Amino acid sequence: MEAPQQDLDARVRRLLADGDVAAASELAVRELGPVALRFVRSAVRDEELAADAFSEFAEDLWMGLPAFRGDSSLRTWAFRVAWNAILRVRNDAWQRRRTPLSRGRASELAEQLRTRTPVVLERQARALAALRSKLTVEEQSLLALRVDQGLPWAEVAEVIAADGKPVQVDALMKRFQRLKERIALLAREDGLVE
């Protein structure tokens, strides 16, 4: 067993021994959640089911941690908890379930971890790049200068001045507002936002 895992096991056991089950559970979900999420995603291969399984995993880990006997490492036990969650969500009865899950602290943590992972960020970056490709060169430039580079309006106006003719900052801000509205419309059309 590697040292970081031993350290995590020791910290969680110490919190449990001190009676701080919430802190122990939160630590376990935060530390083991990312690896469990990768496991769940690779096993399920469906983002909705993976989200359900990961939420179940977090709730089960949170609630079950006080009963953890230590027969294996905490990491191994967490993978077992994740495996059981995967099996439940793949069960037909689970998919027919109509009542929503309760949203406790573990589910909140699971959602935070699930939506901030590199896979999700990469997917979002690809979707944003596809959306930007629908913009004109001028729109892309305005967006890049103002948002990506963070230039103040006066500097953006200097950069895009056509043939040395200054662009009025107020007019530029209005163009940018229309651009944001267009981007929002495109994002809705592409199903990126509701």
Q: What is the pLDDT of residues 115-130, one digit of tens each?
A: 666 666 677 677 777 8
Question: In the prediction, which pLDDT does 118 show?
Answer: 66
pLDDT of residue 70: 80
Cβ-based neighbours of 25, under 8 Å, separated by 6 or more = 61, 62, 65, 105, 106
Percent of the chain topping pLDDT 70: 78
Q: Which domains does the chain have, with CATH numbers?
A: 3-116 (no CATH), 121-189 (1.10.10)
- Note the pLDDT tens digit of each residue in 10-43: 999 999 999 999 999 999 999 999 888 888 887 7
Task: Give the three-state DSSP class for 76.
Answer: helix
pLDDT band at 97 (very low <50, low <70, confident <90, very high): low
> By C-alpha distance, which of 65, 78, 64 is closest to 34?
78
Q: Is the pLDDT of residue 95 over 90?
A: no
Most confident range (mean pLDDT) of 25-39, 44-58, 100-114, 140-154 is 25-39
End-to-end Cα, the chain, rounded Å: 46
Q: What is the pLDDT of residue 19?
A: 93
CA distance 24 to 177: 47
Cα(100)–Cα(154) distance, rounded to whole angstroms? 50
Q: Which of 11-15, 101-105, 128-132, 142-146 has the highest mean pLDDT?
A: 11-15
Looking at every residue in the chain, the average pLDDT score rounds to 80
Phi-psi sector, 191: left (phi>0), alpha (psi -120 to 50), beta: left
Determine contact, residues 176/142, Cβ cutoff 8 Å: yes
